[in-house]
Amino acid sequence: MEERQEKERGIMGQEQEDEGKSQGQGASMNAQNSMAERGKNCTEMDEKGKEKGMEEGEMKKEIELDGEVKVELCQPVQGLQISYIKGSDLFGYVGIEAVLDQMRSKTMKAGFEFNIMVVGQSGLGKSTLVNTLFKSKVSRKSCTSNYEEKISKTVKLHSISHVIEEKGVKMKLTVIDTPGFGDNINNENCWEPIVKYVNEQYEKYLIEELNVNRKRRIPDSRVHCCIYFLPATGHRLRPIDTEFMKRLGKIVSIVPVIAKADTLTIEERQDFKERIRQDLTANGICVYPLKEYDEDPEERILNDRIRDSIPFAVVGTDKEHQVNGNKVLGRKTKWGIIEVENVAHCEFANLRDLLIRSHLQDLKDVTHNIHYETYRVQRLNESNMNFSELGLSTWLLENGTGEKYESESHL
């Protein structure tokens, strides 16, 4: 391709400053498109960055040689140097940031979906914790009066959906429960129904996406987050924990938590958490948030702090108590009230912040960009899907790939 690659000299006569900005900018806009790739290979990306630096050096030389040069692309080519205009260079207010309000209002009208799965043996307070997270009865205890059901040999999944509206924002929350997990004498392959469920949601999405007549918004039943409940044994990860997380961590974002953490003393908690982190690393288990998906240094710092303190030791409740005249969610014992949302008492608030207040959108993005994409690549390769057979790429070749729109010289 013969795209011309020149640099417009100076927006409103401030060429040097623009130059400086332009480099950082070009790199940052470029980085967005290769996040998934970066996930796979960080060093590769860094090398690309360096190559880019060199190209820009060459560009600068060109500017010195020529009086007025400009970037004029035939068609926008990803990764090419694009000139950069700062707000202070504009001769008036444009209103670009209004797009944020437009998106906000569209999201508020449309609402969004969030699907959370809870896994762990019965009696660890999975339903109570989810109810505490969403401050409502979105999950129901699955303890049945029916003993036969209870001793069912297979893990059964069921999901329950609610629309929760808070301050005008509507979330369709689906909680997927996995009763029976780890409750049997022999728990071999008890993760299989769960793996299958997760993959089936990807499959459904894939089919919808490939449909000729598809929905405007593909219904999203993909599991955005899997909370894995560890019993507060104070020991280490059990084989069932490592086996489950090893497998599931590859296909879904796992957030492990220490359940019913009120049984642990301060020291026990710290020691247990430390040992779990060691076991996670030793077994190569991927838990959310993964280092390789951090998008920038700022996010890295924030996520490092989270990674250093997982698994969160949590306590759930749906009861309110009076503490110093205030109503707080807590569990009252003879020796005191455990305030669930008090960070001095347990790490429930850290979990809630991660899942809802700071990383909810990121959990959805990682599900879509990493886990779903991985599934999609596998499936399409399996099916030997070759779109060139469909005449799609040949059509473009026959009809030109943009080379016909040559940029004209205006020097």
Task: Pick out residues in 101-120 that bind its own copies (CB under 8 A).
Answer: 102-104, 106-112, 115
**β-bridge partners, 176:** 117, 159
Q: How far is the CB of 169 from its own copies (least distance, A)?
A: 4
The answer to the question of residue 23 lying near its own copies (CB under 8 A) is no
Q: How far is the CB of 382 from its own copies (least distance, A)?
A: 8
Q: Which stretch binds its own copies (CB under 8 A): 225-233, 256-264, 304-312, 374-382?
A: 374-382
Measure the CA–CA gap between 60 and 15, rounded to whole angstroms: 11
Bridge pairing between strands 169-177 and 112-119: parallel
Q: How far is the CB of 76 from its own copies (least distance, A)?
A: 5
Smaller CB separation from its own copies, 121 or 127: 127
Q: Tokens representing 96? A: 């670009």
**Nearest Cα to Cα of residue 200 among 379, 369, 363:** 379
Asked if residue 228 lies in contact with residue 241, where contact means CB atoms within 8 angstroms, the answer is: yes
Q: How far is the CB of 133 from its own copies (least distance, A)?
A: 8
Smaller CB separation from its own copies, 286 or 356: 356
**Nearest Cα to Cα of residue 60 among 3, 88, 22:** 22
Smaller CB separation from its own copies, 164 or 286: 164
Cα-based distances in Å from 257 to 272, 314, 391? 11, 7, 50
In 190-258, beta strands by DSSP E? 225-230, 254-258
The answer to the question of residue 359 lying near its own copies (CB under 8 A) is yes
Query: Among positive and negative, which fits the CA dihedral 183, 185, 191, 197?
Result: negative
Q: How far is the CB of 25 from its own copies (least distance, A)?
A: 6
Residues 6 or more apart from 106 whose CB is under 8 A from it? Answer: none
The answer to the question of residue 301 lying near its own copies (CB under 8 A) is no
The residues in 153-192 that bind its own copies, with binding defined as CB under 8 A, are: 156-172, 174, 179
Rg, the chain, Cα only: 26
The residues in 58-77 that bind its own copies, with binding defined as CB under 8 A, are: 70-76
Measure the CA–CA gap between 101 and 151, rounded to whole angstroms: 52
Count of positions (residues) in the chain = 411
Q: How far is the CB of 159 from its own copies (least distance, A)?
A: 6
Smaller CB separation from its own copies, 240 or 356: 356
Asked if residue 73 lies in contact with residue 4, where contact means CB atoms within 8 angstroms, the answer is: yes
| 258: helix, strand or coil | strand
Smaller CB separation from its own copies, 140 or 235: 140
Q: How far is the CB of 235 from its own copies (least distance, A)?
A: 32
The answer to the question of residue 20 lying near its own copies (CB under 8 A) is no
The answer to the question of residue 321 lying near its own copies (CB under 8 A) is no
Q: How far is the CB of 34 from its own copies (least distance, A)?
A: 7
| 226: helix, strand or coil | strand
Smaller CB separation from its own copies, 25 or 263: 25
The answer to the question of residue 320 lying near its own copies (CB under 8 A) is yes
The number of residues that bind its own copies (CB under 8 A) is 142
The answer to the question of residue 100 lying near its own copies (CB under 8 A) is yes
- Which residue has tokens 């793996």? 195
Q: How far is the CB of 268 from its own copies (least distance, A)?
A: 29
* H or E element at residue 255: strand 254-258
Measure the CA–CA gap between 116 and 367, rounded to whole angstroms: 12
The answer to the question of residue 148 lying near its own copies (CB under 8 A) is no
Asked if residue 349 lies in contact with residue 338, where contact means CB atoms within 8 angstroms, the answer is: no
Q: How far is the CB of 274 from its own copies (least distance, A)?
A: 29
The residues in 187-246 that bind its own copies, with binding defined as CB under 8 A, are: 193, 196-197, 200, 203-204, 206-207, 210-217, 219, 221
Asked if residue 262 lies in contact with residue 348, where contact means CB atoms within 8 angstroms, the answer is: no
The answer to the question of residue 329 lying near its own copies (CB under 8 A) is yes
Measure the CA–CA gap between 310 and 288, rounded to whole angstroms: 9
Of the candidate residues 136, 189, 233, 270, the single one contacting its own copies (CB under 8 A): 136
